[in-house]
Chain A
Amino acid sequence: MSREALQESLSAVMDNEADELELRRVISALDDADVRATWSRYQLARAVMHKELLDPRLDLSAAVSAAIADEVAPAKAGRGPWRSLGRLAVAASVTVAVLAGVRLYNQDEMSGAELAQQQPVQQQSPSMPQVKGPAVLAGYTTESTEAPRAAAPGQSSWNDQRVPGYLRQHAQDAAAKGSESALPYARAASLEDR
Protein backbone atom coordinates (compact mmCIF):
# COMPACT_ATOMS: atom_id res chain seq x y z
CA MET A 1 0.00 0.00 0.00
CA SER A 2 1.39 3.38 -0.85
CA ARG A 3 2.36 5.78 1.86
CA GLU A 4 0.27 8.54 0.34
CA ALA A 5 -2.83 6.38 0.39
CA LEU A 6 -2.23 5.53 3.99
CA GLN A 7 -1.71 9.13 4.96
CA GLU A 8 -4.88 10.08 3.19
CA SER A 9 -6.71 7.38 5.07
CA LEU A 10 -5.26 8.59 8.34
CA SER A 11 -6.41 12.08 7.62
CA ALA A 12 -9.85 10.80 6.72
CA VAL A 13 -10.15 8.77 9.88
CA MET A 14 -9.16 11.76 11.93
CA ASP A 15 -11.91 13.80 10.39
CA ASN A 16 -14.58 11.14 10.64
CA GLU A 17 -14.65 10.98 6.90
CA ALA A 18 -13.20 7.54 6.42
CA ASP A 19 -15.02 4.66 4.84
CA GLU A 20 -14.80 1.12 6.09
CA LEU A 21 -11.90 0.19 3.87
CA GLU A 22 -9.82 3.09 5.06
CA LEU A 23 -10.60 2.35 8.65
CA ARG A 24 -9.35 -1.21 8.19
CA ARG A 25 -6.28 0.04 6.41
CA VAL A 26 -5.43 2.33 9.29
CA ILE A 27 -6.12 -0.26 11.96
CA SER A 28 -3.85 -2.79 10.31
CA ALA A 29 -1.11 -0.22 9.95
CA LEU A 30 -1.21 0.98 13.54
CA ASP A 31 1.73 -1.22 14.52
CA ASP A 32 3.99 0.80 12.31
CA ALA A 33 5.85 3.47 14.28
CA ASP A 34 5.93 5.83 11.34
CA VAL A 35 2.21 5.64 10.96
CA ARG A 36 1.73 6.44 14.62
CA ALA A 37 4.04 9.38 14.31
CA THR A 38 2.16 10.67 11.30
CA TRP A 39 -1.07 10.24 13.20
CA SER A 40 0.11 12.28 16.14
CA ARG A 41 1.41 14.94 13.84
CA TYR A 42 -1.96 15.22 12.15
CA GLN A 43 -3.66 15.27 15.52
CA LEU A 44 -1.43 18.05 16.72
CA ALA A 45 -1.85 20.15 13.62
CA ARG A 46 -5.56 19.73 13.91
CA ALA A 47 -5.57 20.51 17.60
CA VAL A 48 -3.70 23.73 17.04
CA MET A 49 -6.13 24.74 14.37
CA HIS A 50 -9.06 23.95 16.57
CA LYS A 51 -7.37 25.47 19.60
CA GLU A 52 -7.49 22.13 21.28
CA LEU A 53 -4.44 20.59 22.75
CA LEU A 54 -3.08 17.13 22.92
CA ASP A 55 -1.61 15.78 26.05
CA PRO A 56 2.08 16.42 25.50
CA ARG A 57 2.94 13.17 27.26
CA LEU A 58 1.87 11.18 24.27
CA ASP A 59 4.11 11.30 21.28
CA LEU A 60 5.33 14.84 21.18
CA SER A 61 8.83 14.39 19.97
CA ALA A 62 10.96 17.24 18.87
CA ALA A 63 10.04 16.42 15.34
CA VAL A 64 6.44 17.07 16.15
CA SER A 65 7.33 20.53 17.30
CA ALA A 66 9.30 21.05 14.15
CA ALA A 67 6.31 19.88 12.24
CA ILE A 68 4.23 22.59 13.85
CA ALA A 69 6.54 25.21 12.55
CA ASP A 70 6.70 23.60 9.14
CA GLU A 71 3.18 22.58 8.59
CA VAL A 72 0.65 24.44 10.61
CA ALA A 73 0.87 27.75 8.86
CA PRO A 74 0.32 26.43 5.35
CA ALA A 75 -2.28 24.03 6.57
CA LYS A 76 -4.21 26.89 8.11
CA ALA A 77 -4.20 28.82 4.90
CA GLY A 78 -5.49 25.80 3.11
CA ARG A 79 -8.33 25.30 5.53
CA GLY A 80 -7.06 21.95 6.68
CA PRO A 81 -5.99 18.80 4.96
CA TRP A 82 -9.33 17.08 5.22
CA ARG A 83 -11.26 19.38 2.97
CA SER A 84 -10.39 17.61 -0.22
CA LEU A 85 -11.67 14.26 0.79
CA GLY A 86 -15.35 13.76 0.39
CA ARG A 87 -15.97 10.48 2.06
CA LEU A 88 -18.54 8.51 3.89
CA ALA A 89 -18.59 9.45 7.50
CA VAL A 90 -17.88 6.93 10.19
CA ALA A 91 -19.30 7.51 13.61
CA ALA A 92 -16.99 9.49 15.82
CA SER A 93 -17.27 6.96 18.59
CA VAL A 94 -15.88 4.21 16.39
CA THR A 95 -12.89 6.30 15.47
CA VAL A 96 -12.14 7.20 19.03
CA ALA A 97 -12.41 3.58 20.12
CA VAL A 98 -10.08 2.39 17.43
CA LEU A 99 -7.50 4.98 18.22
CA ALA A 100 -7.71 4.55 21.95
CA GLY A 101 -4.00 5.19 22.22
CA VAL A 102 -4.55 8.85 21.63
CA ARG A 103 -6.42 10.88 24.16
CA LEU A 104 -7.54 14.39 23.73
CA TYR A 105 -7.45 16.97 26.46
CA ASN A 106 -8.97 20.35 26.20
CA GLN A 107 -6.82 23.06 27.57
CA ASP A 108 -8.50 26.10 26.26
CA GLU A 109 -6.20 28.56 27.87
CA MET A 110 -3.23 27.32 25.89
CA SER A 111 -2.79 28.37 22.34
CA GLY A 112 -0.81 26.64 19.67
CA ALA A 113 1.85 29.30 19.86
CA GLU A 114 2.40 28.68 23.52
CA LEU A 115 2.70 25.01 22.84
CA ALA A 116 5.31 25.66 20.24
CA GLN A 117 7.26 27.66 22.79
CA GLN A 118 7.03 24.89 25.33
CA GLN A 119 8.46 22.46 22.87
CA PRO A 120 11.46 24.23 21.44
CA VAL A 121 12.10 23.32 17.86
CA GLN A 122 14.93 20.90 17.46
CA GLN A 123 15.91 19.76 14.06
CA GLN A 124 17.53 16.55 15.15
CA SER A 125 15.09 14.05 13.82
CA PRO A 126 15.08 14.37 10.09
CA SER A 127 13.73 10.86 9.77
CA MET A 128 10.23 12.24 10.09
CA PRO A 129 8.71 12.34 6.63
CA GLN A 130 7.75 15.86 5.74
CA VAL A 131 4.25 15.29 4.60
CA LYS A 132 2.84 18.00 2.50
CA GLY A 133 -0.71 18.41 3.65
CA PRO A 134 -3.02 17.19 0.91
CA ALA A 135 -4.66 20.56 1.11
CA VAL A 136 -6.61 21.67 -1.87
CA LEU A 137 -7.19 25.35 -1.75
CA ALA A 138 -10.82 26.07 -2.05
CA GLY A 139 -10.40 29.79 -2.01
CA TYR A 140 -7.80 32.11 -3.36
CA THR A 141 -4.10 31.70 -3.26
CA THR A 142 -2.71 33.82 -0.53
CA GLU A 143 0.16 35.21 -2.51
CA SER A 144 -0.42 38.60 -3.92
CA THR A 145 -0.89 38.48 -7.62
CA GLU A 146 -1.58 42.14 -8.04
CA ALA A 147 1.97 43.19 -8.65
CA PRO A 148 3.63 42.97 -12.01
CA ARG A 149 6.48 40.50 -12.06
CA ALA A 150 9.75 40.45 -13.90
CA ALA A 151 9.82 44.16 -14.43
CA ALA A 152 13.16 45.78 -13.84
CA PRO A 153 12.91 49.13 -12.07
CA GLY A 154 13.07 52.05 -14.44
CA GLN A 155 12.23 49.82 -17.36
CA SER A 156 8.63 49.33 -16.50
CA SER A 157 7.40 52.88 -16.92
CA TRP A 158 6.07 52.18 -20.40
CA ASN A 159 4.32 49.09 -19.13
CA ASP A 160 2.95 50.88 -16.08
CA GLN A 161 1.53 53.52 -18.37
CA ARG A 162 0.07 51.32 -21.03
CA VAL A 163 -0.92 47.95 -19.56
CA PRO A 164 -3.60 49.26 -17.17
CA GLY A 165 -5.20 50.98 -20.15
CA TYR A 166 -5.19 47.73 -22.10
CA LEU A 167 -6.75 45.90 -19.18
CA ARG A 168 -9.49 48.46 -18.91
CA GLN A 169 -10.09 48.53 -22.63
CA HIS A 170 -10.39 44.76 -22.73
CA ALA A 171 -12.77 44.69 -19.77
CA GLN A 172 -14.88 47.67 -20.77
CA ASP A 173 -15.21 46.50 -24.30
CA ALA A 174 -16.45 43.11 -23.16
CA ALA A 175 -18.81 44.81 -20.72
CA ALA A 176 -20.15 47.26 -23.27
CA LYS A 177 -21.05 44.50 -25.70
CA GLY A 178 -21.70 41.58 -23.43
CA SER A 179 -25.37 40.95 -23.39
CA GLU A 180 -24.90 37.58 -21.80
CA SER A 181 -24.41 38.52 -18.18
CA ALA A 182 -23.27 41.06 -15.66
CA LEU A 183 -19.89 39.35 -15.37
CA PRO A 184 -17.93 41.51 -17.86
CA TYR A 185 -19.38 44.63 -16.25
CA ALA A 186 -18.36 43.45 -12.79
CA ARG A 187 -14.85 42.70 -14.02
CA ALA A 188 -14.56 46.15 -15.54
CA ALA A 189 -15.89 47.79 -12.38
CA SER A 190 -13.39 45.87 -10.26
CA LEU A 191 -10.52 47.32 -12.29
CA GLU A 192 -11.71 50.84 -11.48
CA ASP A 193 -11.68 50.09 -7.77
CA ARG A 194 -7.98 49.72 -7.60
Chain B
Amino acid sequence: MRSLALLPLLLGFGVSAQAATDASQWLNRLTQAEQQQSYQGTFVYERSGLFSTHDIWHRVQAGKVSERMLQLDGPVQEMVRVDGKATCVSSAPASGLDQRADASRPTLDPLRLMSWYDLAVAGESRVAGRPTVTIDLTPKDPHRYGFSLSLDKQTGLALKTLLLDDQGRMLERLQFTRFQPAVPEQAQLAASKACRPVQAATSVTTGDAPVNWRSDWLPPGFELLGSSLGRDEPSQSVVTRQVYGDGLARFSVFFEPLAGATAADTRLQLGPTVAVSRRVDTPKGKVMVTVVGEIPVGTAERIALSMRLQDAQAGQ
Protein backbone atom coordinates (compact mmCIF):
# COMPACT_ATOMS: atom_id res chain seq x y z
CA MET B 1 0.00 0.00 0.00
CA ARG B 2 2.82 2.34 0.91
CA SER B 3 4.72 1.68 -2.29
CA LEU B 4 1.56 2.06 -4.31
CA ALA B 5 1.01 5.45 -2.77
CA LEU B 6 4.49 6.48 -3.80
CA LEU B 7 4.00 5.45 -7.38
CA PRO B 8 2.11 8.51 -8.59
CA LEU B 9 4.63 10.65 -6.75
CA LEU B 10 7.49 9.13 -8.71
CA LEU B 11 5.63 9.42 -11.96
CA GLY B 12 4.64 12.97 -11.16
CA PHE B 13 8.25 13.92 -10.59
CA GLY B 14 9.23 13.34 -14.16
CA VAL B 15 6.14 15.07 -15.46
CA SER B 16 6.52 18.16 -13.31
CA ALA B 17 10.19 18.52 -14.24
CA GLN B 18 9.28 18.28 -17.88
CA ALA B 19 6.30 20.58 -17.44
CA ALA B 20 8.47 23.38 -16.17
CA THR B 21 6.17 25.51 -18.24
CA ASP B 22 6.35 27.85 -15.39
CA ALA B 23 3.69 30.23 -14.19
CA SER B 24 5.29 33.39 -15.45
CA GLN B 25 5.59 31.97 -18.93
CA TRP B 26 1.87 31.29 -18.86
CA LEU B 27 1.16 34.84 -17.73
CA ASN B 28 3.27 36.21 -20.56
CA ARG B 29 1.33 34.01 -22.91
CA LEU B 30 -1.95 35.33 -21.51
CA THR B 31 -0.93 38.95 -22.10
CA GLN B 32 0.17 38.10 -25.61
CA ALA B 33 -2.97 36.15 -26.39
CA GLU B 34 -5.20 39.06 -25.44
CA GLN B 35 -3.47 41.23 -28.00
CA GLN B 36 -3.38 38.58 -30.71
CA GLN B 37 -6.20 36.09 -30.36
CA SER B 38 -9.75 36.61 -31.58
CA TYR B 39 -12.48 34.73 -29.77
CA GLN B 40 -16.13 34.69 -28.81
CA GLY B 41 -17.95 33.05 -25.97
CA THR B 42 -20.27 33.18 -23.01
CA PHE B 43 -19.22 33.59 -19.41
CA VAL B 44 -20.82 33.76 -15.99
CA TYR B 45 -19.90 36.28 -13.32
CA GLU B 46 -20.64 35.63 -9.69
CA ARG B 47 -20.02 37.60 -6.53
CA SER B 48 -21.63 37.46 -3.07
CA GLY B 49 -25.07 36.32 -4.07
CA LEU B 50 -25.07 37.98 -7.46
CA PHE B 51 -24.95 35.93 -10.62
CA SER B 52 -25.06 37.10 -14.22
CA THR B 53 -24.34 35.76 -17.70
CA HIS B 54 -22.62 37.59 -20.53
CA ASP B 55 -21.63 37.22 -24.16
CA ILE B 56 -18.27 38.47 -25.35
CA TRP B 57 -16.87 39.06 -28.83
CA HIS B 58 -13.19 39.86 -29.13
CA ARG B 59 -11.55 40.60 -32.45
CA VAL B 60 -7.95 41.39 -33.23
CA GLN B 61 -7.43 42.80 -36.67
CA ALA B 62 -4.20 44.43 -37.83
CA GLY B 63 -3.09 44.85 -34.24
CA LYS B 64 -6.33 46.59 -33.28
CA VAL B 65 -8.41 45.01 -30.51
CA SER B 66 -12.18 45.50 -30.67
CA GLU B 67 -14.48 43.87 -28.21
CA ARG B 68 -18.10 43.92 -27.19
CA MET B 69 -19.65 42.57 -24.02
CA LEU B 70 -23.34 42.12 -23.41
CA GLN B 71 -25.16 41.00 -20.31
CA LEU B 72 -27.72 38.33 -21.19
CA ASP B 73 -29.93 38.39 -18.11
CA GLY B 74 -31.61 41.18 -16.23
CA PRO B 75 -31.10 44.76 -17.38
CA VAL B 76 -29.14 45.20 -20.59
CA GLN B 77 -25.52 46.02 -19.85
CA GLU B 78 -23.31 46.58 -22.82
CA MET B 79 -19.85 47.87 -23.45
CA VAL B 80 -17.79 48.26 -26.60
CA ARG B 81 -14.05 48.74 -26.24
CA VAL B 82 -11.59 49.59 -28.96
CA ASP B 83 -7.91 49.33 -28.16
CA GLY B 84 -8.56 49.25 -24.45
CA LYS B 85 -10.81 52.31 -24.41
CA ALA B 86 -14.56 52.20 -23.99
CA THR B 87 -16.39 53.75 -26.91
CA CYS B 88 -19.85 53.14 -25.54
CA VAL B 89 -21.55 51.84 -22.41
CA SER B 90 -25.23 51.21 -21.89
CA SER B 91 -25.29 52.57 -18.35
CA ALA B 92 -24.69 56.21 -17.72
CA PRO B 93 -21.16 56.62 -16.42
CA ALA B 94 -21.09 57.80 -12.83
CA SER B 95 -19.63 61.14 -13.76
CA GLY B 96 -18.06 60.68 -17.12
CA LEU B 97 -15.08 58.51 -17.76
CA ASP B 98 -11.83 60.29 -17.47
CA GLN B 99 -9.63 58.69 -20.06
CA ARG B 100 -6.57 60.48 -18.74
CA ALA B 101 -6.57 59.21 -15.21
CA ASP B 102 -4.18 56.40 -15.94
CA ALA B 103 -3.08 56.00 -19.48
CA SER B 104 -0.78 53.09 -18.76
CA ARG B 105 -2.24 49.99 -20.34
CA PRO B 106 -2.54 47.36 -17.63
CA THR B 107 -0.58 44.33 -18.63
CA LEU B 108 0.47 41.46 -16.47
CA ASP B 109 4.17 41.72 -15.73
CA PRO B 110 5.22 38.48 -14.04
CA LEU B 111 8.53 39.94 -12.88
CA ARG B 112 6.78 42.77 -11.08
CA LEU B 113 4.02 40.55 -9.74
CA MET B 114 6.55 38.09 -8.35
CA SER B 115 7.60 40.63 -5.73
CA TRP B 116 4.12 40.67 -4.20
CA TYR B 117 2.60 37.33 -5.20
CA ASP B 118 3.82 33.76 -5.26
CA LEU B 119 3.23 32.46 -8.78
CA ALA B 120 2.69 28.77 -9.25
CA VAL B 121 1.26 26.30 -11.71
CA ALA B 122 -1.36 24.64 -9.52
CA GLY B 123 -2.53 21.91 -11.85
CA GLU B 124 -4.63 21.12 -14.84
CA SER B 125 -8.35 21.17 -15.31
CA ARG B 126 -11.11 21.72 -17.82
CA VAL B 127 -13.25 24.79 -18.38
CA ALA B 128 -15.94 25.22 -21.04
CA GLY B 129 -15.01 21.80 -22.37
CA ARG B 130 -11.41 22.84 -22.97
CA PRO B 131 -8.22 21.67 -21.22
CA THR B 132 -6.78 24.37 -18.98
CA VAL B 133 -3.79 24.92 -16.76
CA THR B 134 -4.34 26.61 -13.40
CA ILE B 135 -2.04 29.43 -12.30
CA ASP B 136 -2.27 30.60 -8.70
CA LEU B 137 -1.17 34.05 -7.62
CA THR B 138 -0.96 33.96 -3.84
CA PRO B 139 -0.27 37.26 -2.09
CA LYS B 140 2.81 37.44 0.12
CA ASP B 141 1.19 39.91 2.52
CA PRO B 142 -2.36 40.53 3.78
CA HIS B 143 -2.83 43.69 1.70
CA ARG B 144 -4.15 42.13 -1.48
CA TYR B 145 -6.27 39.23 -2.64
CA GLY B 146 -5.16 36.08 -4.39
CA PHE B 147 -6.06 35.06 -7.92
CA SER B 148 -6.53 31.66 -9.44
CA LEU B 149 -6.52 31.67 -13.24
CA SER B 150 -7.43 28.77 -15.49
CA LEU B 151 -5.79 29.38 -18.84
CA ASP B 152 -6.83 27.72 -22.06
CA LYS B 153 -3.99 25.42 -23.11
CA GLN B 154 -4.54 26.09 -26.78
CA THR B 155 -4.79 29.89 -26.78
CA GLY B 156 -3.43 30.92 -23.37
CA LEU B 157 -6.53 32.99 -22.59
CA ALA B 158 -8.11 33.00 -19.13
CA LEU B 159 -11.27 30.87 -19.13
CA LYS B 160 -11.77 31.09 -15.39
CA THR B 161 -10.71 33.73 -12.88
CA LEU B 162 -11.28 33.42 -9.14
CA LEU B 163 -10.54 36.09 -6.57
CA LEU B 164 -9.75 34.61 -3.16
CA ASP B 165 -9.34 36.18 0.25
CA ASP B 166 -6.75 35.15 2.84
CA GLN B 167 -9.02 32.37 4.09
CA GLY B 168 -9.27 30.94 0.60
CA ARG B 169 -12.90 32.06 0.32
CA MET B 170 -14.03 32.95 -3.15
CA LEU B 171 -14.95 36.61 -3.56
CA GLU B 172 -15.84 36.49 -7.22
CA ARG B 173 -15.78 34.19 -10.19
CA LEU B 174 -15.65 34.79 -13.91
CA GLN B 175 -15.94 31.59 -15.85
CA PHE B 176 -16.56 30.81 -19.49
CA THR B 177 -19.23 28.27 -20.28
CA ARG B 178 -18.71 28.46 -24.03
CA PHE B 179 -15.54 29.53 -25.80
CA GLN B 180 -14.53 29.53 -29.44
CA PRO B 181 -11.24 30.89 -30.74
CA ALA B 182 -13.09 32.14 -33.82
CA VAL B 183 -13.13 35.63 -35.31
CA PRO B 184 -16.44 37.41 -34.60
CA GLU B 185 -18.28 39.08 -37.44
CA GLN B 186 -18.54 42.83 -37.77
CA ALA B 187 -22.25 42.76 -36.94
CA GLN B 188 -21.57 41.04 -33.65
CA LEU B 189 -19.16 43.77 -32.63
CA ALA B 190 -21.55 46.60 -33.49
CA ALA B 191 -23.03 48.41 -30.53
CA SER B 192 -26.77 48.33 -30.09
CA LYS B 193 -28.83 51.51 -29.84
CA ALA B 194 -28.93 51.26 -26.06
CA CYS B 195 -25.18 51.65 -25.88
CA ARG B 196 -24.40 55.32 -25.34
CA PRO B 197 -21.16 56.84 -26.62
CA VAL B 198 -18.69 57.64 -23.89
CA GLN B 199 -17.87 61.28 -23.26
CA ALA B 200 -14.94 62.50 -21.32
CA ALA B 201 -15.52 63.72 -17.80
CA THR B 202 -16.15 67.40 -17.19
CA SER B 203 -12.69 68.30 -16.10
CA VAL B 204 -11.79 71.29 -14.08
CA THR B 205 -9.72 73.72 -16.09
CA THR B 206 -6.10 72.74 -16.10
CA GLY B 207 -3.62 74.96 -14.37
CA ASP B 208 -5.18 74.10 -11.04
CA ALA B 209 -2.68 72.72 -8.64
CA PRO B 210 -2.88 69.03 -9.30
CA VAL B 211 -3.52 66.56 -6.58
CA ASN B 212 -1.87 67.72 -3.38
CA TRP B 213 -2.75 64.70 -1.34
CA ARG B 214 -0.18 62.13 -0.46
CA SER B 215 -0.27 58.97 1.54
CA ASP B 216 1.86 58.36 4.61
CA TRP B 217 1.42 54.68 4.05
CA LEU B 218 0.67 52.48 1.07
CA PRO B 219 0.65 48.69 0.87
CA PRO B 220 3.99 47.61 -0.60
CA GLY B 221 4.05 47.46 -4.37
CA PHE B 222 1.17 49.85 -4.97
CA GLU B 223 2.08 52.85 -7.08
CA LEU B 224 0.19 55.94 -8.11
CA LEU B 225 -1.08 55.27 -11.62
CA GLY B 226 -2.70 58.62 -12.11
CA SER B 227 -4.72 61.39 -10.60
CA SER B 228 -7.41 63.71 -11.81
CA LEU B 229 -9.78 66.45 -10.79
CA GLY B 230 -13.39 66.17 -11.78
CA ARG B 231 -16.54 68.12 -11.18
CA ASP B 232 -19.39 66.00 -10.06
CA GLU B 233 -22.51 66.79 -12.07
CA PRO B 234 -25.29 66.99 -9.49
CA SER B 235 -23.41 68.40 -6.53
CA GLN B 236 -20.95 70.57 -8.47
CA SER B 237 -18.27 69.74 -5.95
CA VAL B 238 -14.72 69.21 -7.10
CA VAL B 239 -13.61 65.67 -6.53
CA THR B 240 -9.96 64.73 -6.55
CA ARG B 241 -9.21 61.19 -7.53
CA GLN B 242 -6.12 59.05 -7.38
CA VAL B 243 -5.68 55.56 -8.79
CA TYR B 244 -3.15 53.09 -7.40
CA GLY B 245 -2.18 49.62 -8.55
CA ASP B 246 0.27 46.83 -7.87
CA GLY B 247 0.19 45.49 -11.41
CA LEU B 248 -2.90 43.38 -10.74
CA ALA B 249 -5.09 44.88 -8.01
CA ARG B 250 -6.31 48.47 -8.15
CA PHE B 251 -7.88 50.95 -5.84
CA SER B 252 -9.12 54.52 -6.23
CA VAL B 253 -9.04 57.24 -3.60
CA PHE B 254 -11.61 60.04 -3.80
CA PHE B 255 -11.23 63.33 -1.93
CA GLU B 256 -14.28 65.52 -1.64
CA PRO B 257 -14.70 68.61 0.56
CA LEU B 258 -17.71 68.13 2.80
CA ALA B 259 -18.57 71.84 2.77
CA GLY B 260 -20.54 71.60 5.98
CA ALA B 261 -22.50 68.49 4.98
CA THR B 262 -22.95 65.90 7.68
CA ALA B 263 -21.48 62.60 6.69
CA ALA B 264 -20.46 59.49 8.50
CA ASP B 265 -17.43 57.24 8.39
CA THR B 266 -18.66 54.15 6.58
CA ARG B 267 -17.52 50.82 5.28
CA LEU B 268 -19.22 49.06 2.40
CA GLN B 269 -18.32 45.68 0.98
CA LEU B 270 -19.72 44.55 -2.36
CA GLY B 271 -18.29 41.18 -3.24
CA PRO B 272 -14.64 41.86 -4.01
CA THR B 273 -14.92 45.64 -3.82
CA VAL B 274 -14.67 47.62 -0.62
CA ALA B 275 -15.48 51.31 -0.07
CA VAL B 276 -14.18 52.93 3.10
CA SER B 277 -15.00 56.56 3.87
CA ARG B 278 -13.11 58.51 6.51
CA ARG B 279 -13.44 62.20 7.42
CA VAL B 280 -10.14 64.03 7.51
CA ASP B 281 -9.65 67.48 9.02
CA THR B 282 -7.79 70.00 6.89
CA PRO B 283 -7.21 73.72 7.39
CA LYS B 284 -9.90 74.27 4.75
CA GLY B 285 -12.48 72.16 6.50
CA LYS B 286 -13.42 68.54 6.61
CA VAL B 287 -12.70 66.40 3.58
CA MET B 288 -14.16 62.98 2.98
CA VAL B 289 -11.53 60.47 1.90
CA THR B 290 -13.04 57.39 0.26
CA VAL B 291 -10.94 54.39 -0.72
CA VAL B 292 -12.60 52.08 -3.28
CA GLY B 293 -10.98 48.96 -4.59
CA GLU B 294 -10.48 45.23 -4.70
CA ILE B 295 -8.37 45.09 -1.55
CA PRO B 296 -9.04 43.81 1.99
CA VAL B 297 -11.07 46.16 4.15
CA GLY B 298 -8.34 46.57 6.77
CA THR B 299 -5.92 47.71 4.12
CA ALA B 300 -8.42 50.18 2.68
CA GLU B 301 -9.05 51.53 6.16
CA ARG B 302 -5.36 52.07 6.78
CA ILE B 303 -4.91 53.82 3.43
CA ALA B 304 -7.81 56.15 4.13
CA LEU B 305 -6.38 57.08 7.52
CA SER B 306 -2.93 57.68 6.02
CA MET B 307 -3.95 60.37 3.54
CA ARG B 308 -2.53 63.83 4.24
CA LEU B 309 -2.94 67.15 2.53
CA GLN B 310 0.54 67.73 1.26
CA ASP B 311 1.14 71.41 1.77
CA ALA B 312 -1.87 73.26 3.03
CA GLN B 313 -0.27 76.69 2.54
CA ALA B 314 1.01 76.20 -0.98
CA GLY B 315 -2.09 74.41 -2.22
CA GLN B 316 -4.58 76.95 -3.53
Q: What is A's interface to B at a CB cutoff of 8 Å? A: 20, 88, 136-141, 144-146, 148-152, 154-159, 161-163, 165-183, 185-193
> Is the pair A187, B79 in contact by a Cβ cutoff of 8 Å?
no
Task: Report 10 cross-chain contacts, Cβ distance below 8 Å, ordered by A residue.
Answer: A140-B49, A150-B264, A156-B263, A162-B288, A165-B232, A177-B102, A179-B35, A180-B106, A187-B271, A189-B79
> Is the pair B86, A175 in contact by a Cβ cutoff of 8 Å?
yes
A179 to B81, CA, bound (A): 8
Query: Which of B131-139, B181-189, B250-258 is the interface stretch?
Result: B250-258
Residues of A within 8 A of B263 (CB): 155-159, 162
> Is the pair B75, A187 in contact by a Cβ cutoff of 8 Å?
no
Whole-angstrom distance between the Cβ of B175 and the nearest chain A Cβ:
10
Closest B residue, CB atoms, query A155 = B264
Asked if B91 is at the interface (CB within 8 A of a chain A CB), the reply is: yes
Asked if B272 is at the interface (CB within 8 A of a chain A CB), the reply is: yes
Tell me the residues in window 84-122 of chain B with beta carbons closer than 8 Å to chain A beta carbons: 84-86, 89, 91, 93-95, 97-99, 101-102, 105-108
> Is the pair B85, A176 in contact by a Cβ cutoff of 8 Å?
yes
Closest B residue, CB atoms, query A137 = B169
Greatest chain A CB density within 10 A among B93, B98, B241, B266 is at B266
A173 to B242, CA, bound (A): 12
Assess A192 versus B91: contact at CB under 8 Å? Given A159-B277, A166-B252, A185-B69. yes
With beta carbons under 8 angstroms apart, the residue of A88, A168, A179 that contacts B105 is A179
Residues of A within 8 A of B85 (CB): 176-177
Beyond A183-B161, A191-B270: 19 further Cβ-contacts under 8 Å?
Answer: A20-B1, A136-B168, A140-B169, A144-B49, A145-B270, A149-B268, A150-B267, A155-B263, A158-B264, A163-B275, A169-B252, A174-B250, A178-B106, A180-B108, A185-B81, A192-B77, A193-B50, A193-B52, A193-B74
Residues of B within 8 A of A139 (CB): 169-170
- B236-254 CB contact bits vs A (8 Å, 1 = yes)? 0000010100000011101
Asked if B303 is at the interface (CB within 8 A of a chain A CB), the reply is: no
Whole-angstrom distance between the Cβ of B153 and the nearest chain A Cβ:
18
Asked if B287 is at the interface (CB within 8 A of a chain A CB), the reply is: no
Asked if B290 is at the interface (CB within 8 A of a chain A CB), the reply is: yes
Asked if B24 is at the interface (CB within 8 A of a chain A CB), the reply is: no
A144 to B49, CA, bound (A): 9
A173 to B100, CA, bound (A): 10
> Is the pair B84, A179 in contact by a Cβ cutoff of 8 Å?
yes
> Is the pair A187, B172 in contact by a Cβ cutoff of 8 Å?
yes
Asked if B31 is at the interface (CB within 8 A of a chain A CB), the reply is: yes
A19 to B5, CA, bound (A): 11
Q: Which range holds the interface residue count of chain B?
A: 35 or more
Closest B residue, CB atoms, query A139 = B170
> Is the pair A190, B47 in contact by a Cβ cutoff of 8 Å?
yes
Assess A166 versus B102: contact at CB under 8 Å? Given A140-B170, A186-B52. no
> Is the pair A176, B266 in contact by a Cβ cutoff of 8 Å?
no
A140 to B168, CA, bound (A): 10
Asked if B65 is at the interface (CB within 8 A of a chain A CB), the reply is: yes
> Is the pair A172, B94 in contact by a Cβ cutoff of 8 Å?
yes
Residues of B within 8 A of A20 (CB): 1
List the 5 closest A-B pairs by CB distance, nearest first: A179-B84, A176-B86, A158-B263, A186-B45, A168-B94
> Is the pair A163, B290 in contact by a Cβ cutoff of 8 Å?
yes
> Is the pair A190, B262 in contact by a Cβ cutoff of 8 Å?
no
With beta carbons under 8 angstroms apart, the residue of A146, A150, A165, A166 that contacts B48 is A146
Residues of B within 8 A of A185 (CB): 54, 69, 79, 81
Residues of B within 8 A of A187 (CB): 45, 47, 172, 271-273, 294
Whole-angstrom distance between the Cβ of A108 and the nearest chain B Cβ:
32
> Is the pair A186, B266 in contact by a Cβ cutoff of 8 Å?
no
Closest B residue, CB atoms, query A181 = B158
Residues of B within 8 A of A193 (CB): 50, 52, 74-75, 77
Asked if B83 is at the interface (CB within 8 A of a chain A CB), the reply is: yes
Asked if B293 is at the interface (CB within 8 A of a chain A CB), the reply is: yes
A191 to B50, CA, bound (A): 10
Residues of B within 8 A of A152 (CB): 264
> Is the pair B45, A163 in contact by a Cβ cutoff of 8 Å?
no
Asked if B167 is at the interface (CB within 8 A of a chain A CB), the reply is: yes
Assess A163 versus B268: contact at CB under 8 Å? Given A169-B252, A170-B292. yes
Whole-angstrom distance between the Cβ of A164 and the nearest chain B Cβ:
8
Whole-angstrom distance between the Cβ of A83 and the nearest chain B Cβ:
11
Residues of B within 8 A of A140 (CB): 48-49, 169-170
Tell me the residues in window 131-177 of chain B with beta carbons closer than 8 Å to chain A beta carbons: 158, 161, 167-170, 172, 174
Asked if B56 is at the interface (CB within 8 A of a chain A CB), the reply is: yes
Whole-angstrom distance between the Cβ of B59 and the nearest chain A Cβ:
13
